[in-house]
């Protein structure tokens, strides 16, 4: 209780002294905070970033580094892919779930090429090389990849497929020292520093400070357990990340993620959301979650995935995040990969960066489908029936059930194996504060809360129920910039 | 904007005069409001109910009237069903979704028998007759029914099946004049009136009034477009219903319900949630929804339901609300009922109260499964494969895939028909304000908001992702009582 009761706003007249002061105060030095810092500084503000950990980076620096960009970026063009903002928008509206913020998606697609140029201008490197195989990440330092199921059924029939997963060129891929996320965050924070942005570390925000008109004028925080008060002359930007590691919030809002938060850092405790809620902030899509599927995409595409009833449910060659969401949300988190010896060998012969997904032994190996079905405990006859139907069509190279691309459709022969991929999911939350296109935090009344801005995963961005890799670093950096500009201008 | 900006709290010192005044002011005269009114009056408070429409009743009076009660109620016992609070709790924890409020479910189950006695003491009549057929409602004035899939797979293996759908004995079933909901609300509001509870109609609440310590001391409202101010000396109870008819909130929180709100009244605009959010109230399970499935349960149980891939996905003899949720949430709202001539005739020969669900003509009638499969546009071979597997097991009277009870398992013969039940769902929202066991509205800090109480569908009650018919009138009346007591005592 003590921990949480502190989220109530503090009145400025109760503050006896300010420990730090700046025009724009930013909480969190991940991608949204860094982008906000750069743009606030460029707009003429004195900027202070408060970071809870001992260094910059946040979840972004630990991530693969995908940034979802399109509409005809120079990288897309150089690699021969056609795309338009309209085509990208069509895709995102279909992929990101009903109820997604249409205005934000439109805005994001219209601004995507400009945002690419901005990232390059800050020093983010993109290598002109495309990686076209199924996978979570490219095997080396390739710069472009499909990262949302754009070229798979059913989305490939809704919008013209174009890869939009833009990856900062990593260094030392093998040792992993400078991955895509690092190569995004390093230039951004270098740029911020060159613009005079200050950062104070080991500061955990506790509550917002408001004046007698309810305008946000600062942040109350703790440093090594002691209270510190930071005055923001123009505005506060919240960029504190998701609530994936706040167990109570996950139970209350996104219970499917109970006990399976991943792909973010433990600092993601929802504090930015809670301090704003205490001011009457509106929320959005609190149940939404990115869901990774822990399985080698090369294997998955070459086999068939069946649920606990032995039925196929998703084209196996689509984006792993779509498989993860479908498995966790709609299939009771039950999945088995059925793959024959030949396909397994072909998968193992491919280059992949995610070898650890292959270490699990099969749950069953058999000479017949019936044998495997029985051994993994599927209802009698279900898997046999599923494989029979799949093989009948696969013999003609088609998949009328789910539209897997012909290149991945081959009859399942013998011997074959089943891998138990039940509960092989985990993810991070996508819901959060409702913000407008200027990243102003909206009150439940619909009006902006004066002096308060937010971006990144403490906000509900472009995603509602769906996801594409790169959407978080994408909308975090895009609306982080907006937050910095708006806060500096006191919009 | 004008409509919504009014939700910000109003300071009491800005109120120039009070139009009404009472110890406890209750917003909404549905089941939660009526229960709160009764208990607040009994606790010695002067009570005023503000109702937006021209009369008492709310969504409750328009509903079928199910109240979810168990643990060994006199009605259960009289009809030969064994149940315990622990058994009921086991069921609800399994049925109502991960993340459900465990403390509330425990509390509700422990208090359920007492709550039955309370309802009877207020004059709510329950007829000692059980209705055991699949259906949304009994055909006549029976008092007890399965209403949550208690006796169907997989829940029948998790807790000992017991019917818990308690129905107030209706009158004039044929004309529908005095349905179960009416027969619940009439005695409750009569009781309230006899206790001196006053009600003012045509009053729409706009915002809460707080004193300078942020304690809730009243309600600002409108009557015929003119502002009225109501002072609450002890507390305000919000009992304003769901947000199913607030399109913006549905898009933001529960987008699967876009364009399909039903089973509640259009007054359900989420106002109680929004005025409390403006004070920093915590929310819970905002994506959760009850989902009705518009199909005759007698037909459904006798046929098989398949999704858009021609696969079965749920035991067809379970509670329709489970079918609705599974269809809308997990099957892209696609469902086809496959039923043979003989089963259709058997269904049509049964007594059912929901004849209008039968008026739709079949999408296809054929002599073979392949013919029907083709005509309704399922992927080639899928329905044939599904029926073949189903029939193979059905010949032995079993359903190893989904566990439909043997009495409903019969091979599907010819001729057969398919009914297109895609988009045959609709429902109301279950998410809302987070309250404690005394129905105090909790601030995001975890502390109660002084002077503010809530119950019914503007709160998150016992349901998270799942549902059982009667859960809303059940927790609405149960926690409505608690709200009345707590508000009267200023707990």
pLDDT on residue A357: 59
Checking DSSP bridges between strand A203-210 and strand B304-306, what pairing results, if any? Answer: unpaired
Task: For residue B4, name the pLDDT band (cuts at 50, 70, 90).
Answer: very low
Task: For residue A1, name the pLDDT band (cuts at 50, 70, 90).
Answer: very low
pLDDT on residue B135: 85
Q: Which residue of A has its CA nearest to B384?
A: A389
Average pLDDT over residues A46-61: 96
Alpha helices in A328-434 (DSSP H): 341-348, 369-376, 382-394
- Residue from A260, A287, A447 to probe the interface with B (highest B Cβ count within 10 Å): A287
Number of inter-chain CB pairs under 8 A, A vs B: 147
- In chain A, residues with a C-beta closer than 8 Å to the C-beta of B274 are 444
- Residue from B105, B243, B246, B255 to probe the interface with A (highest A Cβ count within 10 Å): B255
Kindly state the percentage of chain B with pLDDT values over 70.
96
Residues with Cβ < 8 Å from A234, sequence gap 6 or more?
A23, A24, A45, A451, A487, A488, A489, A490
Task: For residue B2, name the pLDDT band (cuts at 50, 70, 90).
Answer: very low
Residues with Cβ < 8 Å from A349, sequence gap 6 or more?
none
> Is the CB of A7 inside 8 Å of chain B's CB atoms?
yes
ipTM of the complex: 0.94
Average pLDDT over residues A300-314: 97
Neighbours of A89 (CB within 10 A): 21
- Distance of residue B134 Cα from the nearest chain A Cα, in angstroms: 24
- Distance of residue A274 Cα from the nearest chain B Cα, in angstroms: 6
Tell me what the pLDDT averaged over chain A comes to: 94
Residue B100 has pLDDT above 50, yes or no: yes
Question: Cα A342 vs. chain centroid, distance in angstroms?
Answer: 34
- Of A159, A114, A120, the C-alpha closest to A143 is A120
Instruction: Extract the runs of DSSP E, i.e. beta strands, from B112-258.
Output: 130-131, 144-145, 165-166, 198-200, 203-210, 216-223, 226-238
Query: CA A313 to CA A305: how far, in whole Å?
Result: 7
- In chain A, residues with a C-beta closer than 8 Å to the C-beta of B402 are 309
Task: For residue A352, name the pLDDT band (cuts at 50, 70, 90).
Answer: low
Query: CA B368 to CA B373: how far, in whole Å?
Result: 9
Neighbours of A367 (CB within 10 A): 10
pLDDT on residue B357: 59
> Is the CB of A98 inside 8 Å of chain B's CB atoms?
yes
Alpha helices in B326-368 (DSSP H): 341-348
Q: Which residue of B has its CA nearest to A309?
A: B401
Q: List C-alpha distances in Å: B204 to A28, A159, B230.
A: 42, 46, 11
B353: exposed, middle or buried (Cβ count in 10 Å: 0-12, 13-18, 19+): middle
Report CA torsion sign: A197, A203, A205, A209: negative
Q: pLDDT tens digits for B213-248?
A: 999 999 999 999 999 999 999 999 999 999 999 999
Checking DSSP bridges between strand A67-68 and strand A47-50, what pairing results, if any? Answer: unpaired
B225: exposed, middle or buried (Cβ count in 10 Å: 0-12, 13-18, 19+): exposed
Total H helices, total E strands in chain A: 16, 21
Residues of chain A numbered 293-312 and touching chain B (CB < 8 Å) = 309, 311-312
- Residue in this structure with the two tokens 């109820």, named with its chain if needed: A99
CB pair distance less than 8 Å for B253 and A282: no
Tell me what the pLDDT averaged over chain B comes to: 94
CB pair distance less than 8 Å for B382 and A388: no
CB pair distance less than 8 Å for B99 and A5: no
pLDDT on residue A354: 52
Does residue B323 contact residue B305 with C-beta atoms inside 8 Å?
yes
> Is the CB of B213 inside 8 Å of chain A's CB atoms?
no
pLDDT on residue A437: 98
Query: CA A165 to CA A130: how far, in whole Å?
Result: 10
pLDDT on residue A262: 80
pLDDT on residue A3: 44
Question: Cα B193 vs. chain centroid, distance in angstroms?
Answer: 26
Checking DSSP bridges between strand A20-27 and strand A226-238, what pairing results, if any? Answer: parallel
pLDDT on residue B88: 98
What are the backbone angles phi and psi of residue B209, rounded to the nearest 5°? -110, 130
- Of B235, B326, B214, B348, the C-alpha closest to B281 is B214
Neighbours of A150 (CB within 10 A): 26
Query: CA A390 to CA B207: how far, in whole Å?
Result: 59
A59: exposed, middle or buried (Cβ count in 10 Å: 0-12, 13-18, 19+): buried
Query: CA A206 to CA A84: how far, in whole Å?
Result: 43
Query: CA A256 to CA B461: how far, in whole Å?
Result: 18
Average pLDDT over residues A344-369: 80
Task: For residue B5, name the pLDDT band (cuts at 50, 70, 90).
Answer: low
Six-digit token string for A285:
């899509």
Residues of chain B numbered 364-403 and touching chain A (CB < 8 Å) = 379-382, 385-386, 388-389, 392-393, 400-402
- In chain A, residues with a C-beta closer than 8 Å to the C-beta of B443 are 8, 278
> Is the CB of A274 inside 8 Å of chain B's CB atoms?
yes
> Is the CB of B280 inside 8 Å of chain A's CB atoms?
yes
Six-digit token string for A279:
């001011």
- Distance of residue B306 Cα from the nearest chain A Cα, in angstroms: 12
Residue B178 has pLDDT above 90, yes or no: no
Residues of chain A numbered 469-488 and touching chain B (CB < 8 Å) = none
Residue A204 has pLDDT above 90, yes or no: yes
Alpha helices in A168-263 (DSSP H): 180-194, 247-253
For the domain covering A295-423, report its CATH number: 3.90.700.10
Indicate the residue of B7, B252, B282 with minimum beta-carbon distance to A284.
B252
Q: Which residue of A has its CA nearest to B276?
A: A280
Average pLDDT over residues B303-329: 97
Q: pLDDT tens digits for B149-172?
A: 999 999 999 999 999 999 999 887
pLDDT on residue B351: 67
> Bridge-partner residues for B306, per DSSP?
B312, B336
Residues with Cβ < 8 Å from B16, sequence gap 6 or more?
none
Which uninterrupted H or E stretch holds A365?
strand A364-366
Buried b (16+ CB within 10 A) or exposed e, A420-457: bbbebbbbbbbbbbbbbeebbbbbbbbbbbbbbbbbbb
Does residue A181 contact residue A187 with C-beta atoms inside 8 Å?
no
DSSP string, B245-305: T-HHHHHHH-GGGTT-B-SS-TT---HHHHHHHTTTB-EE-TT-EEEEE-S-HHHHHHSEE
For the domain covering A1-294+426-490, report its CATH number: 3.50.50.60
Task: For residue A264, name the pLDDT band (cuts at 50, 70, 90).
Answer: low
The domains of chain B are located at 1-294+426-490, 295-423
pLDDT on residue B267: 86
CB pair distance less than 8 Å for B274 and A4: no
pLDDT on residue B140: 87
CA angle centred on A140, ends A136 and A141, rounded to 5°: 100
- Distance of residue B420 Cα from the nearest chain A Cα, in angstroms: 19
pLDDT on residue B262: 80
Average pLDDT over residues B283-293: 97
Residue A223 has pLDDT above 80, yes or no: yes
CB pair distance less than 8 Å for B283 and A285: no
- Residue in this structure with the two tokens 């925000």, named with its chain if needed: A205
Does residue A108 contact residue A472 with C-beta atoms inside 8 Å?
no
Q: How far apart are the first and last CA of chain A?
A: 35
- In chain B, residues with a C-beta closer than 8 Å to the C-beta of A5 are 445-447
Kindly state the percentage of chain A with pLDDT values over 70.
96
Does residue A283 contact residue B283 with C-beta atoms inside 8 Å?
yes
Does residue B230 contact residue B20 with C-beta atoms inside 8 Å?
yes
Task: For residue B263, name the pLDDT band (cuts at 50, 70, 90).
Answer: low
Which uninterrupted H or E stretch holds A200?
strand A198-200
CB pair distance less than 8 Å for B402 and A309: yes
Q: pLDDT tens digits for A382-429?
A: 999 999 999 999 999 999 999 999 999 999 999 999 999 999 999 999
CB pair distance less than 8 Å for A5 and B447: yes
Average pLDDT over residues A53-75: 95
- In chain A, residues with a C-beta closer than 8 Å to the C-beta of B312 are 309
Residue A207 has pLDDT above 50, yes or no: yes
Buried b (16+ CB within 10 A) or exposed e, A106-133: bbbbebbbebbebbeebebbbbebbbee
- Distance of residue B14 Cα from the nearest chain A Cα, in angstroms: 15
CB pair distance less than 8 Å for A444 and B279: no
- Residue in this structure with the two tokens 């998270």, named with its chain if needed: B464
- Residue from B259, B311, B386, B436 to probe the interface with A (highest A Cβ count within 10 Å): B311
pLDDT on residue B360: 83
CA angle centred on A162, ends A161 and A163, rounded to 5°: 130
- Residue in this structure with the two tokens 């006796």, named with its chain if needed: B151
Residue B359 has pLDDT above 80, yes or no: no
- In chain B, residues with a C-beta closer than 8 Å to the C-beta of A287 are 285-287
- Residue from B287, B304, B312 to probe the interface with A (highest A Cβ count within 10 Å): B287
């Amino acid at each position: 209780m003590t921990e949480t009761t502190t989220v109530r706003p503090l009145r400025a007249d109760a503050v006896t002294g300010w420990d730090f002061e700046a025009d724009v105060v930013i909480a969190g030095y991940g991608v949204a905070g860094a982008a906000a810092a750069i743009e606030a500084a460029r707009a003429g503000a004195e900027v202070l970033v408060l970071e809870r950990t001992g260094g910059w980076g946040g979840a972004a620096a630990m991530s693969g580094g995908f940034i979802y960009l399109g509409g005809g970026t120079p990288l897309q063009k150089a690699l021969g892919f056609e795309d338009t903002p309209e085509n990208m928008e069509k895709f995102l509206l279909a992929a990101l779930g009903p109820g997604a913020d249409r205005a934000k998606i439109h805005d994001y697609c219209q601004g995507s090429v400009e945002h690419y140029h901005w990232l390059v201008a800050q020093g983010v490197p993109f290598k002109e090389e495309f990686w076209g195989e199924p996978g979570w990440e490219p095997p080396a330092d390739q710069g472009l990849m499909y990262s949302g199921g754009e070229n798979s059924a059913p989305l490939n029939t809704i919008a013209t497929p174009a890869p939009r997963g833009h990856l900062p060129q990593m260094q030392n891929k093998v040792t992993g020292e400078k991955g895509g996320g690092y190569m995004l965050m390093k230039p951004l924070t270098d740029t911020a520093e060159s613009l005079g942005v200050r950062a104070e570390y080991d500061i955990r925000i506790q509550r917002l400070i408001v004046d007698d008109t309810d305008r946000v004028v600062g942040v109350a925080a703790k440093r090594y357990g002691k209270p510190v008060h930071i005055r923001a002359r123009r505005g506060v930007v919240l960029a504190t990340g998701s609530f994936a590691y706040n167990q109570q919030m996950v139970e209350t809002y996104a219970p499917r993620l109970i006990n399976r938060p991943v792909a973010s850092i433990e600092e993601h405790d929802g504090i930015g959301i809670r301090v704003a809620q205490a001011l009457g902030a509106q929320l959005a899509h609190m149940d939404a979650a990115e869901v990774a599927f822990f399985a080698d995409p090369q294997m998955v595409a070459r086999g068939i995935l069946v649920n606990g009833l032995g039925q196929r449910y998703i084209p196996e060659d689509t984006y792993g995040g779509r498989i993860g969401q479908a498995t966790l949300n709609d299939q009771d988190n039950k999945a088995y990969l059925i793959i024959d010896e030949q396909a397994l060998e072909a998968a193992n012969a491919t280059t992949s960066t995610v070898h650890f997904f292959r270490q699990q032994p099969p749950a069953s190996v058999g000479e017949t489908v019936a044998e495997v079905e029985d051994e993994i405990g599927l209802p009698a006859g279900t898997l046999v029936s599923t494989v029979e139907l799949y093989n009948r069509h696969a013999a003609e190279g088609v998949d009328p059930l789910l539209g897997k691309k012909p290149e991945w459709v081959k009859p399942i022969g013998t011997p074959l194996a089943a891998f138990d991929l039940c509960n092989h999911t985990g993810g991070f939350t996508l819901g959060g504060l409702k913000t407008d296109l200027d990243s102003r935090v909206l009150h439940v009344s619909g009006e902006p809360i004066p002096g308060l801005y937010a971006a990144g995963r403490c906000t509900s961005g472009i995603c509602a129920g769906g996801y594409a890799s790169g959407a978080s670093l994408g909308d975090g950096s895009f609306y982080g910039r907006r937050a910095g500009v708006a806060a500096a201008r006191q919009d």
